Homo-oligomer: A and B are copies of this chain.
Amino acid sequence: MSMLESEQSKKSNLQNYIPKKPERIACSIEKALDVIGGKWSFLVLKELFDGTKRFGELQRKIKSISPKSLTDTLRHLEEYGVLERTAYPTVPVTVEYKLTPKGEDLHQMLKEMKLWAAKWCSDV
């Protein structure tokens, strides 16, 4: 029981950003949602399409995000190979986030999403 518990807490700590999956139907839409379905993923991605950004910059751009949510989102997207984290040993430390090719490739989808919203959600 105690052995299981320690594994449990470790696991839940690491995975606290992964959205729950509707039982792994082998469906490409769900796979995409596992990666980019979080509350903040789209907003972070949107910022990174404008180029490499640092933690603080993202925080300032996405005003209502907490540092925890930002870290969680960045880690999650990194884990899935959508973005890359690079730390430079400056002082204070500099950390840069940029999209990988996999992440860049989401551009078309995001674009379609924006087009749709522009067309249908302009003042509703």
Contacts and interface: CB of A to CB of B under 8 A. Distances in A.
Interface of A: 19-20, 22-23, 25, 27-35, 39-40, 42-43, 46, 62-65, 80-81, 102, 105-106, 108-110, 112-121, 124
Contacts of A35: 121
A116 B121 contact: no
A5 to B, nearest CB: 28
Contacts of A43: 22, 27, 29-30
Main secondary structure of the interface of A (DSSP, over half): helix
Given A108-B112, A109-B113, A118 B28 contact: yes
9 contacts: A19-B39, A22-B40, A22-B65, A28-B118, A29-B110, A29-B117, A31-B121, A32-B117, A108-B112
Nearest to A41: B33
